[in-house]
Amino acid sequence: MTKNNHTYFMNEALKEANKALLKNEVPVGAIVVIDGKIVSRAHNLREIKQDFSCHAEFLALQKAAKKIGSWRLEDASVYVTLEPCPMCAGAMIQSRVKNLYYGAKDPKTGAVESVIRLLDERFNHQIHYEGDILSLKSSNLLKSFFKKLRKKD
């Protein structure tokens, strides 16, 4: 994939993050790409659904599996605006995702490079990953959300 493709797909994930923002959810968005085509999109819905598992990447993986008719997403690339947490990184390992591309690092719960390096462990499946793709856009969106949330309190 070229840098332009990564930029395009991350901008699509950012569109999902903005949908979450409009719903007063933490603005994280994710897409799943197979053969250069977006097969699923999702954004955080934890507050609306009152379900801890409703992270953007988890929902996008579920939608992609349903769409292709298999839990094995061996040819899939996931683009997510924030470094995945342990639950979501684990879901990517379990679903056999090929590539992960993410925006901003998560210094509190990041499970790729920031807090733990789950994808570097010797599991039965290895995922290629790259971070810092449009990280400033992702980071600014998150910072403005939390700044606004703190002003309410």
Q: Which two tokens mark 98?
A: 């090929």
- On the CB side of 28, CA atoms within 13 Å amount to 26
Q: Are the C-beta atoms of 142 and 13 separated by less than 8 Å?
A: no
Catalytic residue among 12, 16, 25, 57: 57
Ramachandran sector of residue 93 (left: φ over 0; alpha: ψ -120 to 50; beta: rest): alpha
**Rounded to a whole number, what is the largest CA-CA distance in the chain?**
45
Measured distance CA(24)–CA(41) in Å, rounded: 18
Pairing of strands 29-34, 37-43: antiparallel
Counting Cβ atoms within 10 Å, is residue 8 exposed (0-12), middle (13-18) or buried (19+)? middle
Q: Is 12 a catalytic residue?
A: no
Residues marked as catalytic: 57
